[in-house]
Structure 1
Amino acid sequence: MLEVAAAIIEDGTGRILIARRAKGKSQVGMWEFPGGKLEPDESPEECLRRELLEEMGIVIEPYAYFGVNEHDYGTVTIRLLAYKAKFVSGDIMLTDHDAYRWVRTEELGEYMFAPADVPFLGMLSSEI
């Protein structure tokens, strides 16, 4: 099973960062909470700091565990660990995604999310 971390990044005005998977990636065109694969001996929080700096050029601060979801994509099963995080600094530059949006929780339903991320949408909606 592949362990992956996802960041639910807040911007301080009630919006959350989502990103669309680029061509050449699995789940192309679907939206997700950005993150990436955990390296050996790396905590989910360390993974998220590293991945968001590498893939988007931003600094974030994960502050709370949010939830976990295991999803079988057929070719791989992932264990997705979600963490709430605060946006700290940086200008977003995309390398693994082809678009991003800052959206309010109530707008999340307007986007088609990768299946592993979908359970977190309901969890976020229940927080409103």
Structure 2
Amino acid sequence: MPSPLPAAAAAAAEIVTGMAVQAPPVAVSRALRRAELYSRTARVLGRRLEVAGELVDVRRELRVGDLLRVRPDGGPALLRPVAMHLRVRATDPTPVLEIVHGPLTGATVSFRVDGDPAGAVVRCTVGRPGRMPARRIRAGAGVLLGIATLLAREPLVVVAGVVVDADRVLAARRAAPSAHAGGWEFPGGKVEPGEEEDAALVRELREELGITVRVGERVGPDVDLGGSAVLRCRVATVRSGTPTPQAGDHDRIRWLKGEELTEVDWLPADLAVLPDVRALLAATATAAENRAERAHDDRPDNAG
């Protein structure tokens, strides 16, 4: 369980609630940007959350300009049964929200995350809180930070496709961001909150390479990417389309055989799974040879 820190008013014009979290700061910041955090907090407080008029889609992060509508929905009376609207003013590195309708109109909600990879301290500051009792504001902030702790501890999965064609595997060269440009990888991307890994890989490869794939078994163990994120590789085979770099993520692709895997400059995380990919290609080639031999032996002219 998270360890509460003493809440204190930094000044008469703001109320601060803090909590220690056993998760890296980057994971905590990522949790604070997730729409799911605010939806779950609203439910606990007996509210319903809508974003820009639609029921919240937990599969995305908050965006600047989003309007969060918090409406009464029964449940506990921790807050008065009135509606509240919050506008997202910033999201990087953590959200800044302004209350534009309701009993705290004009108040702002912001976050600060400090710490190191072993743990973080997150503070929620409500500026210009008006006349609402501080204990109610701190209670609501405490619920939000507690749920943020749970989300921060969930690993972010980056799923990559080991796209195979007989004895070859597809490699893609990064064009962006600049820190990864020129490095080769197995293409893919992050699994969004609430999304299945298979669906995420199908979506990413369609967006990045313009192909539709069938997703198979895992390849190798998870690779630690830091910040509670892991790289998870899955076998994929092309069902339709020709791999072509899309949307500026990659600028080149290559089909590589097992003995050619060392010919490109792999990104560190993808380099870690090369032994497993090489073994997969070898097993695939052996299986193909065995099928060819059985087909040859079964031919009528080979009988007797």
Compare relative contact order (CA 8 Å, sep 6+) and give the higher one, 1 or 2.
1
Deviation, structure 1 residue 46: 0.9
Letter in 2 for 1:85: A
The alignment's C-alpha RMSD in Å is 1.6
Alignment match, 1:119: 272
Letter in 1 for 2:189: G
Does residue 185 of structure 2 align to residue 32 of structure 1? yes
The equivalent residue for 2:238 is 87
Which of the residues 64, 78, 95 maps onto 2:217? 64
2:271 counterpart of 1:98:
no
Determine which structure has more spread, i.e. the larger CA radius of gyration: 2
Tell me the distance in 1 between the aligned counterparts of 2:182 and 2:156.
21
Q: Secondary structure, in 3 states, of the residue corresponding to 1:112?
A: coil
Whether the 8 Å contact between 2:219 and 2:277 is mirrored in structure 1 is no
TM-score for the superposition, normalised by structure 2: 0.39
Contact 2:212–2:241 under 8 Å retained in 1: yes
> Of residues 37, 51, 56 in structure 1, which corresponds to 2:204?
51
1:107 aligns with 2:263: no
Number of corresponding residues: 124
In structure 2, the partner of 1:9 is 163
CA distance in 2, matches of 1:31, 1:45: 22
CA 1:35–1:59 in 2, change beyond 3 Å: closer, same or farther?
same
Structure 1 vs Structure 2: percent identity of aligned residues? 38
TM norm structure 1:
0.87
8 A contact 1:44–1:81 mirrored in 2 = no
In terms of fraction of residues, the more helix-rich structure is 2
Contact kept, 8 Å, 1:20 with 1:30, in 2: the verdict is yes
Q: Displacement, 1:65?
A: 1.4
Structure 1's consecutive aligned runs of 4 or more residues displaced over 3 angstroms after TM superposition are 23-26
Equivalent pair of 2:244/2:253 in contact (CA under 8 Å):
no
Per the TM alignment, residue 91 of structure 1 is displaced from its structure 2 partner at its CA by: 2.2
Give the structure 2 partner of residue 41 of structure 1: 194
Q: Which runs of 5+ in 1 are unaligned?
A: none
Change (3 A) 1:6 1:40: same
Residues in 1 aligned to 2:179 and 2:159: alpha-carbon distance in whole angstroms: 16
For 1:77 and 1:101, how far apart are their aligned partners in 2?
30
Shift of 1:38: 0.7
Q: In structure 2, the residue corresponding to 1:49 is in which secondary structure?
A: helix
